[in-house]
Structure 1
């Protein structure tokens, strides 16, 4: 476990993020028969956004589904998954390229400007972990979820540890606990990981989230804030 005692410089979120406007409805929403879940009830001190949870419909839609969940925090009817996937250039065998997500979120999410931050090492350094904490907790306080882009080596996926090979996966950071330094993960995977059904929501320590966001064996990883 890396040392997380060093506090990174506090960064103030861009002024645009503080504009908490409403958006015109874009595209169509959930397909008939789909269901979105609300976040679990908050314990004292925990802070969460108003986003809804959605499971991805196949093995390669974790990117579009994570974006849908982020948009649902500020939009009554986010665009359909198919619309989002087309803008993100999601492909069945290539999944979702990470460099399309921040541009799409910035253009679509009301009042927000998103950027990608690579976490250059695995395990993450104290500086990288604390910087992630400062950024995503400020997002959540303003009602904006973040997206984590994980590279989970074999045997390291949260609550499972049965993955036999690397897993590249998008999840949403939807809340935080200031007392325990834990982050609330909204995982779109469901049963799409194979041999394991990921819970809709779970809490992870900051160090674990930061480590999962670290570059692995040449595969980029990080988070969108």
Structure 2
């Protein structure tokens, strides 16, 4: 894995860690920096810790109701939608990047396909980010604790779903999802970018407005 990819994954990990208190965040990130844990494991560890911290606040009836009525359904739906989007994007990326060669790049039909599919993929990712931002804004309207729990659940599902959910792709796409990056890493990375970050942005925006 290249240095730029590792840096991008670390930035996502730092964003996930924003769900922790500042003193805990520094300690956890320091431990992860010294360890050799994978990106998914790191995100899962942070999300699990933040979820345990947030669980203490669920003793309040209002927070508990918001968790089961709002946080769980929204985090599940957003992550499921992100997984579906990731599958479509992964197939296109595999075809465009992993199979690109001089002959293919000189083929006019290749570029026609790119210009036809690319807008739809970008639109799907943009809509996913908008849904996540809207969900984060809605959660903030309930309480900041609810918004933090939503972000934590999204991070947790994004980290564990690719590991425990067996991929169900047609045999025609076996060449794509036989690769670990497209089968495990990318389905975790896309929800973090287009679901978790917009939800965190909604939380951060509300914090700045209330400052």
Larger-Rg structure: 2
Fold equivalence (TM over 0.5):
no
TM-score by length of 1: 0.29
Higher strand share: 1
Return the structure number with greater helix share: 2
Higher relative contact order (CA 8 A, sep 6+): 2
TM-score by length of 2: 0.30
